[in-house]
Structure 1
Amino acid sequence: MMTQNHAVIVLASGLSQRLGQVKQLLNKDGEPLICYMTKLALATQPQAIIIVIPEDNLLIASAITELATQHDNVHTIMNPIPETGMAHSLYLGIKALNRLDSADSCDSLLINRVLIMGVDQILLDEEHLLTLLAGTQTVVASGYSSLENWSNWQDLDEKAVIDKKNAIDETTATETLKKDIIGLPLSIDYELLKQWQALLTGDKGLRYLIRGLPTSQISTVDNHQLSYDIDTPEQLAHARAQRWLDRVDLI
């Protein structure tokens, strides 16, 4: 699947207050989650990757240092006020990307689209990212179900098992996994993203701006596995029980 010239912004400056520990440093397949997700981004062969992390966490910065050393297209940006929300992290990511893009002409980037992703959708895979990048609409976003607590996760797991056993019809299955979120990761036209930079404030700035676009400029790639993110201790315990995350932390 061919992708367009693109860059990636990884939003990784969340403070994980509900989780009670740093989610960026949870381990998946023997490495910190922030490294695992950065490698997924690298697999899409981007022109550049901008990783936005909290300014005062040396462990997160250290975890990503080796990858940044190995790949000269990986750049780390510090967010001094991560508590202000995701939109400010994205603002800083766009600012850093603009700075790279306007560098000396011999090193300038050729970017048509920007892939924006977080770090805690633990079942995200390379195929989904490539599908987002292959889209032609102004915004190609992910569509998935809203699962806010562990009981919802358990319900979805149980329903999926029942569906397989009973071979229920496609309409019923669609209702079972009804999509009600359009969000990250997403691919967006770079020029539009630059225009929106100054409008990004608070925690939901980008989603608000996307909703203002004509529907003809937006498409979604459904993937209910993206519902599984890590925000609470219960979700973390469930993810470890399912072996989606390692049972112990290395850092």
Structure 2
Amino acid sequence: MTSDVDTNNSILPTKTPLPSSTENNKQNHTVIILASGLSERLGQPKQLLSKHGEPLICYMTKIALATKPLAIIVVLPQDQPAITDAINGLVRQNPIIYTVINLIPETGMAHSLSLGIEALTNLKISLINRVLIMGVDQVLLDSEHLKELLAFKSTVVASSYQYLDKAYSTDTGKNNIIGLPIVINVERLKQWQPALRGDKGLRYLIRALPPNQLSTVINHQLSYDIDTPKQLFYARQQHWLDA
């Protein structure tokens, strides 16, 4: 059976050892960045869109670094050397960043997340108790929002934001979205891994949680993601992305 993990870009044992509990007892989370989407509707890799003069995938990884995680696992699509090259500079500078190659990115976000969980398990870091999961196309995401998510201690802490239609206008007939970025207890995430299928596995699992296990942080700026040329045009017009 072919593995979905590219061992040339994943969990490298030669990297600098991760900090022990005596070195920094405040670090207790890792980050999984889901960046293996094929951007078929957009027509170009959203990972390589430019924000403040650098590829979006690098910008988002730096936001994740600002939360001071134990490790960051970035899941990338296969056969996309430009994306891999873009993130490799950060990987060389930061020994806590690892990349995993998704050989079948067309299967959806849930498979990408499953690969991230598998890589996380292979790290064997006993200090980890929570996982921050994020994507790369919420162009107004910042590190402050991620830190606010991490400040809660619930089993799951999710972002909440307004539903927008494809033209970026509000559809008041729909409830707020509960979704990424999200912080999950690591043991709960591993329990959920077998149920992750397609694009919506995680969202359905979160909806099934009892209220006392779920907290949300409202940030309507997260409504603006980039899936279509029209959305990209709007984001550039607002100077959220470089032209």
Quickly name the TM-score band, shorter chain normalised: 0.7 to 0.9
> More deviation in 238-247 or 108-117?
108-117
Q: Provide Cα deviations, 1:135-174, integer angstroms capped at 9, x if missing partner.
A: 111000000011131251xx69xxxxxxxxxxxxxxxxxx
Q: State the AA in 2 paired with 1:143.
A: S
What is the aligned partner in structure 2 of residue 96 from structure 1?
119
Q: Bigger relative contact order, structure 1 or 2, given CA contacts below 8 A and separation 6+?
A: 1
What is the aligned partner in structure 1 of residue 211 from structure 2?
215
- The percentage of counterpart residues that share the same residue type is 65
Q: State the AA in 1 paired with 2:98.
A: H
In the alignment, is the contact (CA less than 8 A) between 2:168 and 2:231 conserved in 1? no
Cα separation, 1, equivalents of 2:168 and 2:142: 24
Secondary structure in 2 aligned to 1:90?
helix
TM-score, normalisation: structure 2: 0.87
In the TM superposition, 1:1-251 aligns within 5 A as 5-101=28-124, 108-152=125-169, 180-247=176-243
Equivalent pairs counted in the alignment come to 219
Greater helix proportion: 1
Cα separation, 2, equivalents of 1:178 and 1:45: 35
Secondary structure in 2 aligned to 1:69?
helix
TM-score, normalisation: structure 1: 0.84
In the alignment, is the contact (CA less than 8 A) between 1:144 and 1:178 conserved in 2? no
In the alignment, is the contact (CA less than 8 A) between 2:138 and 2:226 conserved in 1? yes
Q: State the 1:53 CA deviation.
A: 0.7
Q: State the AA in 2 paired with 1:45.
A: K
Judging changes above 3 Å, is the alpha-carbon distance between structure 1 residues 177 and 63 closer, same or farther for their aligned structure 2 residues? farther
Uncovered stretches (5+) of structure 2, i.e. residues with no partner: 1-24
Cα separation, 1, equivalents of 2:213 and 2:188: 12
Q: State the 1:179 CA deviation.
A: 5.1
Secondary structure in 2 aligned to 1:150?
coil
Uncovered stretches (5+) of structure 1, i.e. residues with no partner: 102-107, 157-175
Q: State the AA in 1 paired with 2:139.
A: I
Q: Where does structure 1 differ by over 4 angstroms across 4 or more consecutive aligned residues?
A: 176-179
In the alignment, is the contact (CA less than 8 A) between 1:179 and 1:224 conserved in 2? no
In the alignment, is the contact (CA less than 8 A) between 1:13 and 1:82 conserved in 2? yes
Q: State the AA in 1 paired with 2:145.
A: H
Judging changes above 3 Å, is the alpha-carbon distance between structure 1 residues 177 and 127 closer, same or farther for their aligned structure 2 residues? farther
Secondary structure in 1 aligned to 2:139?
coil
